[in-house]
Amino acid sequence: MASQAPVRYCGRCGAPLPPNATFCGRCGTPVLMQAAAARPFYGYPQPPRATYPAAGQYKLAPALIAGGLVLILIVVAVLVGGFALSQFVGGNHSTCTVNCSPKFVTPLPEQATYTSSAYKFQVNYFSQWTVRTQDASGITLGTKMGLVQVTGSSGGNPDQVLQSTVSNLPTSQWQDVTLVASVKGAHIGNQDGVGQVYSANLVGASQTAAKVRFAVIVASQKGVTVAIFALGPADPKNFPYGMPEGQAFDYLCTEVAWA
């Protein structure tokens, strides 16, 4: 015996539906819509919406990248230029040894001071140097390797004072005196002057001659002339002008204050 098909009812009004009915005879609701409505509904969370930059940001990003690259190039150029300048100044620039500006010379530590009561000039010197002689006109200092003499006088022409200082050296002690070089930009304190470096053989008490270098710097201001005589052993291979203490002599010249 064949089984009867189950009776279906309208999902809207509850009226029985004939077999193979496509819509409710009472309310007219299609049977297919009722079946779809009867199916279980599964909800899934919607995926997050993708965010896209605004239209202006596409134009701004390349500009920022280009600006960053330009900044990096500028920094690299400055560093390379500074390195090249340091190499030029340190490697190719000749070292100043006599009467240079103080900014190129290391200041002397632990200074002592001498003041001339006759000519009112003042000079600072390395405190470890020894005072050999001093009077109202000047002072003679024993350095680590040689000596420095600072002397004042009235009037006088710097060129004449320089030449007389060299010519008055006793020939029995100072032999083979030879001009090595003239000092460009020679000055004493804030006053421009003249200067020359010489080589010589200095005969000592044991009659043994030693090769030496000495510099004479002279300047005048307001009727007062100051002459600086600096002496040391000769070492032309390792030091400009052949004077190992040249840097200390340089600074001494800058440390003279006129009356």
Nearest to 219 by CA among 120, 169, 152: 152
Domain ranges of the chain: 9-38, 102-257
Residues 6+ away with beta carbon under 8 Å from 97: 239, 240, 241, 243, 246, 247, 249, 250
DSSP code per residue over 174-214: EEEEEEEEEPTT-EETTEE-EEEEEEEEEE-TTS-EEEEEE
**Encoding tokens for residue 87?**
């190499």
Q: Enter the DSSP assignment of 90.
A: I
Q: Enter the DSSP assignment of 13.
A: T
CA–CA distance, 200 with 124 (Å, rounded to integer):
28
What is the model's pLDDT at position 105?
Answer: 46
pTM of the entire structure?
Answer: 0.59
What is the model's pLDDT at position 41?
Answer: 43
The second-level CATH assignment, the architecture, of 102-257 is 3-Layer(aba) Sandwich (3.40)
Cβ count within 10 A of residue 121 = 20
Q: What share of the chain is helix, strand, coil (3-state, %, to 5)?
A: 25, 30, 40
What is the model's pLDDT at position 50?
Answer: 54
Low-confidence ranges of the chain (pLDDT < 50): 1-2, 36-37, 39-44, 88-93, 102-106, 108
What is the model's pLDDT at position 147?
Answer: 94
